Amino acid sequence: MPLPKIPRVLFQGHTPSQRPASARTDAGSATARVVEATVQEWAERLTHNPDGGNVFQGPAFAEHKGAFGWTPLYVVVDLDGTQVAVTVLTRSVPGFGAVWYAPKGPGTTTAAQTADAVQAMGELAKSRGAFLLKVEPELLDTVVNRTTLAHAGLEETWNVQPNGSTVILDITPDLEAIEAGFSRGTRYNIRKARKGGAVAKVVPVTDENCEIFLDLFDQTAEGRFSMRNRDYYKSMWKRHEQAGQGCFVFGYAPDPEAAQSAAGASSNDNGEPAWDGEPAMTVVCCDFVMLLGHKGSRKDAASLRKQPVRGVPALSVVESIRWLKEHGATEYDLCASPPADRIKDTEHALYGVGQFKTGFNDHVTDFVGCWDLPLNKAKYKAWTAGGEGALLRVHLKRTGENWY
């Protein structure tokens, strides 16, 4: 398994913000505190945040990370009369202190709110031995937002979560209207999948289905990206289903070998196979869908590189939307694409992914990404000069796992 290279900044082509000589060092009237809450209570608090919550802030995700080296904390920031719930993951680094990391948080909606919340969280983190606070606010990637964060003393860094740029679907209309809004090519693929006998279903997150997903995931990843160990995925998938915050959607197509040998496998007037009886079905794609409040996200996906029936992955997205709507979601994050200014760049690693996802919505949303608030300048300088990269490489070599 290759060792990771740690870039300092992932976004390209943006105007760099200029930090003034004197960065702000206080959070005004904002304060932060650690609280106790049940999983249900915390999920409810998150959905009342200004941003409506985020699946990566969810308690199921935090509990999962707690089984893999991180310690979850529930933090409340009192900010201008508003309480913002922030799930923080903490982890000790020998010789440095603790890293505090708020995945896709804090749940604020303006850069000014974010700056104040982060300063208050930073004071709390420093009092508990942290040398670094890492945040990933879902603020749009604008010069104003970047400048505000930089003025508050934050440093841009590389993204931990995959959806720094992404495609988000509005799923408030009825399902027929949503599907009608897809691109012509995507609608065509969905029709081909249905005519070809494909179906997409929500299936339970059993050990057997996890193994089916992971076997397909191995094929998808081969030569493209590295995977975590299987226990990591099983933990995440099962915890989310048990909390009512996730599901599997499997796409099935008629087994091509069974189709060829089936009696009467001739073609109909439209050139499609005409089956005698019910053909054997095989899993050709798998999606893991997360949910918190009114927001859904497509976290993991796997599919055969050569599909026996065209369009099954697109049909699975339709079924995912159906499940999310039934559970109160109003938006669906397809989770990761090239940035808007590189969506047509065939050299980008996510080019194919971006082409698939923009068939459902051609608008790419770029967020400001991940930012660090240094709490100890000397230690942070050593961290960015090579300490972080060395830690991640050693951890990967020893455990086969990503430290984050």
In this predicted structure, the answer to whether residue 217 has a pLDDT above a threshold of 50 is yes
Residue 259 has pLDDT above 90, yes or no: no
Of 134, 119, 94, nearest to 32 (Cα)?
119
Cβ proximity of 246 and 235 under 8 Å: no
Residue of 154, 150, 160, 147 whose CA lies nearest to 7:
160
Burial of residue 367 (number of CB atoms within 10 Å: 0-12, 13-18, 19+): buried
Beta-strand relationship, 371-374 and 155-156: antiparallel
CB 217 within 8 A of CB 286: yes
- Kindly state the average pLDDT of the residues 58-67: 97
Give CA–CA dist 23/301, Å, rounded: 42
In the prediction, which pLDDT does 8 show?
Answer: 35
Residue 15 has pLDDT above 80, yes or no: no
Task: Taking residues 381-397, report their average pLDDT.
Answer: 96
**Nearest-angstrom CA–CA distance, 337 and 358:** 9
Between strands 295-303 and 331-333, the pairing is parallel
Whether residue 2 is predicted with pLDDT greater than 70 in this model: the reply is no
For residue range 140-151, what is the model confidence (pLDDT) as tens digits? 999 999 999 999
Per-residue pLDDT, 256: 67
With a cut of 90, say whether residue 22 has pLDDT above it: no
Nearest Cα residue to 198 out of 152, 252, 148, 137: 252
pLDDT exceeds cutoff 50 at 25:
no
Integer distance in angstroms from the first to the last C-alpha of the chain? Answer: 16
Average pLDDT over the chain reads 90
Specify the pLDDT at position 14: 39
Over residues 292-314, the pLDDT tens digits come to: 999 999 999 999 988 899 999 99
Q: What share of the chain is helix, strand, coil (3-state, %, to 5)?
A: 35, 25, 40
pTM, full prediction: 0.88
